[in-house]
Amino acid sequence: MSTQSISTASAGAFSVSGLMIVVASELAGAAFLREFLLAEDWRYVVALLAAFGVALVVMQSVPAIERRIENAFAAQRRAATIVAVLLVFAFPFALGGNTYALHLCVIAQLYAVLALALNFQLGSANIPNFATGASYGIGAYASALLALNFGVSFWLALPAAAIVATLSGFLLGLPSMRTRDSYLALVTIAFGVVVHQLLNNLEFTGGPNGLVGIPVPELFGHSFASPLVIFGVQLPSQANFYYLSAVLVAISILFAGRLHNSRVGLAWNALRADDLAARCQGINTTWYKVLAFAVDAFLAGFAGTIYAFYVGYISPDNFTFLVSVTIMTMVIAGGMDNILGVIVGAFLLTLLPEKLRAFSDYRILFFGVTVIAFLMIRPQGIFPQRLRRYGGH
């Protein structure tokens, strides 16, 4: 009897400390991000990076810590979500009206969506797609053209552009019915180049000058160009798009999580592991590959629309091959098929080049080195893929 009471007591103690672990990790993450965003001195940035690196090394060398944190989050999912939502909501208030930091947050969140989108292919199904940047661009142009030519509002342009992007994703996926993976990578590269060239040369997309004067969205009479007042606190106008892109990230996480833990996610994982064996389990692997392209493009289309209406001006150079490579780097560095990892990768690789402006000429070199370093040191990424859990295991 006494052992039983002890075990319930310790279970209770565990859940309390589990909650504490969850809250502490999320606060630490937010605080780290804030420091990183507000850091001016590149030496401080490097010091922060070093701290992050140390944390990673500790996690890798003492797996018990990692497991403890992981179990705490698994046991406290609801609390973890609520705390995360509160933190994301409160974050702009902690930036002290720094518009540049807020701007970086918007961009980082859009990249997080793009990385989550690509993760369906690269992470779940191991299909190399170098055209996510093109889908992003198609979404941006489709919505901007609708708004400029037909006066379609942002809220209608958003789903419309996502549909256009999805259709183009299907189109891009069609060759995967016939080509094998290494050739498929070439096909996607070609697709990206073709889209870029078309945007550059077509009359109605404005050629190299792109599209200007994309109207600012409004919601219930509130223009997204004006400052946002919450609880009497005035936030810069970027806060409008901060919250909008945060919602998109949340939706993407929801999509990603649900698909991962579904028959579709399992089918993608199966064809990633062994295409032939997957077919022999009844999986139509060509269809699932095309599907991964479509889902990728769908989310990228959303991100593109928000980007277009956020900056108000788009040109073909916003959607180059380099953008696709950047997104791919985020997925690889963050951790394939791990939602949190992909988001961390997106933030890190959006913010780092901005924070290390001194090296901005070496951006491509930087991405290349990052990918090679990760593939060599921690090939599974910052947060590696996890086995699925069923019923608390």
Partner 1 sequence: MEAPVVLSGEGLTMRFGGIVAMAEVSFELRRGEILGIIGPNGAGKSTLLNIVTGIYRPSSGEVWLEGERLNGIPSHRIVSRGIARTFQSSRLFTDLSVLDNVIIGRHSRTRSGVFDAIFRRGRADRELAESAAIAEELLKGVSRDLFDQRHRAAGELPQADRRRLEIARALASEPKVLLLDEPSSGMDDADTDALMDDIRAICAARPELSMMIIEHDMRLVAALPHRVMVLDYGQKLADGPYEEIRRIPRVQEAYLGRKAAQHA
Q: Give 202-260 as a DSSP string.
A: -TTTTGGG-EE-PPPPEETTEETTS-EEETTEEE-THHHHHHHHHHHHHHHHHHHHHHH
Q: Beta-carbon neighbour count of residue 50 at 10 Å?
A: 10
Q: Minimum CB separation from partner 1 for residue 278, in Å?
A: 8
Q: How far is the CB of 127 from partner 1 (least distance, A)?
A: 16
Closest CB 366 distance from partner 1, rounded Å: 30
Shortest distance (Å) from residue 376 CB to partner 1: 20
Cβ atoms 200, 316 nearer than 8 A: yes
Cα 23 to Cα 35: distance, rounded to the nearest angstrom: 18
380 contact partners, CB below 8 Å, separation of at least 6: 335, 336
Nearer to partner 1, 62 or 273 (CB): 273
Tokens 């990918």 locate to 371
Are the C-beta atoms of residues 340 and 236 closer than 8 Å to each other?
no
81/98 with CB nearer partner 1: 81
Q: Which residue's CB is nearer to partner 1, number 102 or number 259? A: 259
Q: What are phi and psi of 179, to 5 degrees?
A: -95, 155
For partner 1, the closer of residues 347 and 383 by Cβ is 383
Nearer to partner 1, 1 or 276 (CB): 276
Write out the residues near partner 1 by the rule CB under 8 A: 254-255, 258-259, 261-267, 269-270, 273-274, 276-285, 291, 295, 385, 387-390, 393
- Provide the minimum distance between the beta carbon of 309 and partner 1 in the complex, in angstroms, as a whole number: 24
The answer to whether the CB of 136 falls within 8 A of the CB of 102 is: no
**Which of residues 19 and 167 has its CB atom nearest to partner 1 in the complex?**
167
Instruction: Quote the tokens at residue 37.
Output: 């965003």
- What's the closest the beta carbon of residue 262 comes to partner 1, in angstroms? 4
